[in-house]
Structure 1
Amino acid sequence: MTALAIGLLVAVLVVAVARPRGLPEATAAIPAAALVVGIGLLSADDALAEVARLGPTVGFLAAVLVLSHLADAEGVFTWAGSLLRREGLFGRVFVIAALTTAVLSLDATVVLLTPVVVRAAKRLRVAAAPAAYACAHLANSASLLLPVSNLTNLLAVGATDLSFLRFAALMALPWLAVLLVEYVGLRWVFRRDLRTEEALAPDNAAEHADRGSETVGVPTFALVVLALTLVGFGVASPLGVEPVWVAVGGVIVLGARSLLAGRTSAARLVGAASPLFCLFVLALGIVVAAVGQQGLSGLLGGLVGGLGTGLGGLLAIAGIAAVLANVVNNLPATLLLLAALGPTPAPVVVLAMLIGVGVGPNLTYVGSLATLLWRRVMLAEGVEPSLGRFTVAGLVTTPAGLVLGVCALWAGEHFVGL
């Protein structure tokens, strides 16, 4: 039965990764979830309990996806693109991608920002690779900062008693440490492209013409709503208000304006919520729960249960999480590890695990769905990503990012008093 459960999980992930004929991720996940319940790998009551546990998280995911769509409709990403110049392009993209991932989640960086960056590079006649690969990496590694930055964070924070602000305080140092590694590492990997870019005169006639043709107003209303929504997350957490309701409030305010102005439609809003992907997450949770009940949670529990909260133990947990994410993808890896850690894991252990499943996927395309989606976005923009360069960039930045990120987490808790 264990082999069957694992086989179903593998089948679900293969379809989600490959998406044959463009089929949605839920194509195999929903039948697999029904099958594990139908043949008794997981009881109906346990399946419903898993759906109830994941429900608020998935609802928040849908709300943030809609909020990102509305930010795009209001011109936030067009405005961000207008800030990109040949001079300092990589640095500007790096900052924008890090902030976009932290505030609007990694999906916004992949789906909305990456095309803007690639088109800006083409317009400025420079290599797209340095900035585009920065988007791919930061969609994963820059998602460490806030509970709302990544679906894995939302899943994990529910297993702890950490508030929104406490989570952010503990993860701020690891976030900065990982970003430093990413910046230095990616600049080294793409040093030749960046040298060529920086050697070009920033004030040539072509760029002056481009600047003159770009007059994009600041989307003040949308930026204010996004800022207030972010503040709302921090204020609502101590009051026991689920973040999904804060996100829904932002959607209502920004959505009303966009609908009245004709910048979006009800159908687009529903599509932006990605209902099939939300169903995929729920179904995947059921399949992973079945795999855990068939013995894998016990095996992982024996592996991570005695590692402790010392620096060595935290590094080991992050390493195991990173390896597992690259084997089964970061979302099921998070679900499996949370089950293995038990009902009351130490918060610092959960955060070390999040560093593993956040930074680790930069090693391979299959490490996260966001990276796979980034590859499809790049192909749609007419740019073929290089597996070799992606792998080299991952090898240069990921191990160092994991180690420095965990060391920063440990130091923040033990010496800074966070």
Structure 2
Amino acid sequence: MSTAVAEAVSVVLLLGVLAFAVVRPRRLPEAVAAVPAAALVVGLGAVSPAEAWRQTHSLLPVVGFLAAVLVLAQLCDEDGLFTAAGDLVARACGGRPRRLLGGVFAVAAVITAVLSLDATVVLLTPVVFATAARVGARPRPHVYATTHLANSASLLLPVSNLTNLLAFTASGLSFTRFAALMALPWVAAIAVEYAVFRRWFAADLAAGAHVPGTDERRPMPVFTVVVLGLTLAGFVVTSFAGVEPLWAALGGAAVLAVRALFRRRTTVGGLVRAASPLFCLFVLALGVVVKAVVDNGLGAGIGSLLPDGSSLPALLAVAVVAAVLANLINNLPAILALLPVVAPAGPGPVLAALIGVNLGPNLTYVGSLATLLWRRILHEHDTEPGLGHFTRLGLLTVPATLVASTVALWGTLRLIGG
């Protein structure tokens, strides 16, 4: 098979897999399309079996970590952590929607950073709906904040997003170094989002609310919070020890899982479902398909677009190309395609690409799977997120957050180095 034909076939298969993941006919898992597509690119010679295995092998620790964090997030939810956080925000807002928005921003930013964007979208969004109803506030600003913060607030830690885990592996940085370099871009993105939200949703925030009653207070699950804090500390320790952070995540999940099993709050089957094995299989298969696309032409095309070095214009160019690519083919394939091109240039371009693929999806529904999940949750609450409204808000936030976070990254690189 010629390179041109291999590239065409690989692109068609990639777009088919992504379309299937967006539509999910009959709610079939994404792996139903991704696994046969991966087998086809190998069988047709678009990627060799050896290259396919190397790609899969390199993704296994990342996917294992993802499964552990998904279990950890589910167990935290079952222990009432998200409900207690929503109750705390409801009481702290004092019947003021603007303060409620600030509280939702703070909780969503922390949950996204520590437990990943999927926890914010899938577990926090329903809590935000309930919290807004409890105080009589209009829900739209607050539930829109969960999807925007799921993307924008996922810049901070390697554990915050699957794209981060991939970039973290390629960057060669330690856990703490990654966090130090991304702290200022993370703050910049959240600050810009908050400023835009205050103005864009001014009418909703001015509608008023009331102070919640004190008879339904949800206690904070102290044991769960302590385990979560120790797990986060474990990420730092394993980073210094040169050990995969997977083991810290497994440790935290194991402690909560044993406790939940002992109390009969969950089952072994429930834990397996929480790990989303079919979604993990989808990620592995998608990596093989993207490998075929990159090796047969996309990698060279991206390389011709991107400048060399870590100057501010170069970092901005990488971030913009990454954001555009994320909105064209979804952010997970985008980072898989970008990393082989930008990784040789050092951690600066890798992190700039990460900024692009994490912030860019706030522009369209298809930019990230998390946004698609958020849309489904809104439908379950009989709320229709208007496409025009979502896009116009994205046009205000995405360019501004891209520039602010990339400038912050450039400044941090100059200050403390890569």
TM (normalized to structure 1)? Answer: 0.95
| Local SS of the residue matching 1:115 | helix
Structure 2 residue aligned with 1:334: 335
Structure 2 residue aligned with 1:245: 247
Which AA in structure 1 matches 2:74? H
Q: Is the 8 A contact 1:307 1:314 kept in 2?
A: no
Is structure 2 residue 260 aligned with structure 1 residue 255? no
| Local SS of the residue matching 1:83 | helix
Q: Is the 8 A contact 1:160 1:345 kept in 2?
A: no
Q: Is the 8 A contact 1:307 1:316 kept in 2?
A: no
Equivalents in 1 of 2:416, 2:240: separation in Å?
23
Equivalents in 1 of 2:198, 2:261: separation in Å?
42
Which runs of structure 1 show a deviation greater than 4 angstroms over 4 or more consecutive aligned residues? none
Distance 1:7 1:417, change over 3 A: closer
Structure 2 residue aligned with 1:297: 299
Structure 1 residue aligned with 2:319: 318
Structure 1 residue aligned with 2:56: 51
Structure 2 residue aligned with 1:106: 117
How many pairs does the alignment contain? 407
Pick from 6, 10, 22: which aligns with 1:5? 10
**Residue by residue, what CA displacement relative to the aligned partner does 1:247-302 show, whole Å, maximum 9, x if unpaired?**
00001111111111122111111000000100000000000001111111111112
**Residue by residue, what CA displacement relative to the aligned partner does 1:134-169 show, whole Å, maximum 9, x if unpaired?**
000000010000011000010011112200000000
Q: Is the 8 A contact 2:308 2:345 kept in 1?
A: no
Pick from 268, 271, 274: which aligns with 2:270? 268
Equivalents in 1 of 2:217, 2:132: separation in Å?
18
Structure 2 residue aligned with 1:145: 156
**Residue by residue, what CA displacement relative to the aligned partner does 1:200-223 show, whole Å, maximum 9, x if unpaired?**
4x34xxx33xx32x1221200000
Shift of 1:124: 2.3
| Local SS of the residue matching 1:51 | helix
Structure 1 residue aligned with 2:367: 367
Give the fraction of aligned pairs with identical amino acids, expressed as a percent: 57
Q: Is the 8 A contact 2:315 2:352 kept in 1?
A: yes
Q: Any unmatched runs of 5+ in structure 1?
A: none
Q: Is the 8 A contact 1:146 1:164 kept in 2?
A: yes
Equivalents in 1 of 2:158, 2:88: separation in Å?
28
Which AA in structure 2 matches 1:98? A
Which AA in structure 2 matches 1:281? V
| Local SS of the residue matching 2:176 | helix
Is structure 2 residue 90 aligned with structure 1 residue 79? no
Shift of 1:382: 2.1
Equivalents in 2 of 1:302, 1:294: separation in Å?
14
Equivalents in 2 of 1:341, 1:405: separation in Å?
18
Q: Is the 8 A contact 1:78 1:116 kept in 2?
A: yes
Equivalents in 2 of 1:335, 1:417: separation in Å?
25
Shift of 1:370: 0.3
Q: Is the 8 A contact 1:9 1:288 kept in 2?
A: yes
Map of 1:27-38 to 2, 5 A cutoff? 27-38=32-43
Shift of 1:123: 2.6
TM (normalized to structure 2)? Answer: 0.95
Equivalents in 2 of 1:92, 1:300: separation in Å?
40
Structure 1 residue aligned with 2:355: 355
Q: Any unmatched runs of 5+ in structure 2?
A: none
Which AA in structure 2 matches 1:157? F
Map of 1:178-193 to 2, 5 A cutoff? 178-193=189-204
Q: Is the 8 A contact 2:359 2:401 kept in 1?
A: yes
Which AA in structure 2 matches 1:9? L
| Local SS of the residue matching 1:158 | helix
Which AA in structure 1 matches 2:334? A
**Residue by residue, what CA displacement relative to the aligned partner does 1:347-374 show, whole Å, maximum 9, x if unpaired?**
0110111100011110000000000011
Equivalents in 1 of 2:35, 2:41: separation in Å?
10
Aligned-CA RMSD value? 1.2
